Structure 1
Amino acid sequence: MSQQKEPIRVLITGAAGQIAYSLLYQIGKGDVFGQDQPLYLHLLDIPAMMGVLEGVVMEMMDCAMPLVCGVVPTADPVEGFRDVDAAFLVGAMPRKEGMERKDLLAANVKIFKVQGQALDKYAKKTVKVLVVGNPANTNALVCSKYAPTIPPENFSAMTRLDQNRAQAQIAARLGVGVDAVKNIFIWGNHSSTQYPDARHGVVKKGNDDIKMIDALPDQAWLQDQFVTTVQKRGAAVIAARKMSSAMSAAKAACDHMRDWWLGTPDGSYVSMGVLSDGSYNTPPGVIFSFPVGIKDKKWTILQGLSLDDFSKGKLEQTGQELIEEREEAFSVCAD
């Protein structure tokens, strides 16, 4: 391994939790920022989790990863956020039984307001911020609002897990490997209103790229079972596992940040929750998941896709939910 590159600093919040446990190994071995990119890991959690975090640090040391130059475990946001180049904001209050989404929103908005302020004060202005903790879209919006000196395009919410779920469902339906399927998109909120859209997808069979509408003409399945399976997949995992998606969420976070950091191939697009500019008649000023292409660490919303009435209705529904979340979140912040 070449050590010529300057080490970068990568922050993971909620670092003693389940998602981080899977995430750290992938980051440390070079799956995200490249096999030649040394890094320091900043591991932030609440004071009550410092004992558990100590064990995580021991394990990171015992992995003996050449790319990991050092690990900074801390409950101090100043130390956690200082000079970071990339941030995975995983830590959030989990939804408990009987808790309404608006209760979850109120609790987490306050956490992400504080984290936005810490990013603004201590992180690099070029920091790339991925919000994983739910409600991810609105948490990302709040975080950006309270970090006014960092460009808003440097904040994104994770819908890559939903895209990976959708891609796997399509691959299974067609009887092909997931790597044969591309350009399956997630629109809107990372919630049960999200719209998984396979209409622009492509499947590789042999040497040919076949449009999804030709490879999978079953519109009834695409508009019903496919959409609801992806929308409700997180709840299905919780019901089966009695715990939320951790391994798949960590993999998706790595996929998201890797593509943001290293770029996407020409003709391939990925789903990211980014600040809406009103493209496709979406509400501007919310974090909305779009298909994007990425080059030189900058994302661009894919333009010019044709949307049928079914799709337009789905985008309108999820956009309305994001407007309502934004209003609620900012009213909580103002308290």
Structure 2
Amino acid sequence: MSEPITVVVTGAAGQIAYSLLYMISRGEVFGKQQRINLHLLDIPPMMGVLEGVVMELGDCALPLLNKVVPTSDPAVAFKDAAAAFMVGAMPRKEGMERKDLLSANVKIFKVQGEALDKFARKDVKVLVVGNPANTNAIICSHYAPSIPKENFTAMTRLDQNRAKYQIASKLGLPVDAVKNVIIWGNHSSTQYPDAKHAVVTVNGASKSAWDAIGDAAYLQGDFISTVQKRGAAVISARKMSSAMSAAKAACDHMHDWWNGTPAGEFVSMGVVSDGSYGMPKDIVFSFPVEIRDKKWSIVQGLSIDDFSKGKLDITAKELLEEKDEAMAVCNQD
């Protein structure tokens, strides 16, 4: 067993964390030999609920779980953090304007960014799950200037997993027969799920998912809208937002960031744009990335047709607007 690493989960008394904490503690993210100190952050009114979660983690008798620290103090939570799952955020409520949501989240991610800056390891891997995830990641990075910008990412893996499942089910294949589906842009209804570069394995042979499905109208229509609206469909059916699938996606994202991507495969992550594919710089934009030695790099040279370019421009415009609104709130401080 290796020395324990400190892993922070914010919003730790919530629905997503309830699934996420078990997966992390079982070794599904950092490996079956890596012991974990779990730091669980939530707001003071949730401390009673969080105590129940701590009891359950103990009752799971998980060999890799070295220590659990429940707290409402960001200074305690982020001390020596090697990885942080930023799940806690202000949810959008009925009648709430986007600027109201951004304003509430700027306050949350300012405090947490400053705590990361002061107390976490400088190589901490920060995954923002709480929405609006892309813009929350920019805010968090803004208030943690001593930590490299590339250490802040936003989760679009849930959208990738959703897209992968849609292709697999359309073709009657297991999901592990589908790879290299891309989510471009924002984790919002403007995201662009792109099957153009996806590959499927059928009867032992690899082929283009686009050719295997053979239905451009579907791939440029219902496929995209189904993935874009999947979160709303889950809420409509379950009366609660995606939790188990979001937790699984957060684990997938951090697992690949920590352990790397297989040769010939890439995954979607919201990362700080360097201008690749003509997208604006310094927004957190979901790109296809490859990961080696815990460092991601944007996959270059993929062909982008006019249809795709139009979709990328729409989601980039929304992200620029969100960033401008969020930074305006930051600048009022």
Q: TM-score, normalised by structure 2?
A: 0.99
Q: Counterpart in 2 of 1:111?
A: 108
Alignment of 1:186 onto 2:183: yes
**5 Å matches for 1:259-278?**
259-278=256-275
Alignment of 1:294 onto 2:299: no
Letter in 2 for 1:74: T
Which of 231, 234, 237 does residue 237 from structure 1 map onto?
Answer: 234
Alignment of 1:218 onto 2:215: yes
Alignment of 1:75 onto 2:72: yes
SS in 2 for 1:38: strand
Letter in 2 for 1:325: E
Q: Counterpart in 1 of 2:119?
A: 122
Q: Counterpart in 2 of 1:227?
A: 224
Post-superposition Cα deviations, 1:175-205, rounded to whole Å, max 9, x if no partner, equal 1010000000000000000000001000001
Of 212-221 and 283-292, deviating more is 212-221
SS in 1 for 2:85: strand
Q: Counterpart in 2 of 1:40?
A: 37
Distance 2:269 2:325 in 1: 23
Q: Counterpart in 2 of 1:149?
A: 146
Alignment of 1:205 onto 2:202: yes
Letter in 2 for 1:59: E
Alignment of 1:257 onto 2:254: yes
**5 Å matches for 1:306-321?**
306-321=303-318
Q: Counterpart in 1 of 2:61?
A: 64
Distance 1:150 1:128 in 2: 10
SS in 2 for 1:7: strand
Instruction: Tell me the percent identity.
Output: 71
**Displacement after TM superposition at 1:22 (Å):** 0.2
Letter in 1 for 2:315: T
Q: TM-score, normalised by structure 1?
A: 0.98
Which structure 2 segments of 5+ residues have no match? none
**Displacement after TM superposition at 1:304 (Å):** 0.3
Distance 2:89 2:105 in 1: 6
- Output the aligned Cα RMSD: 0.6
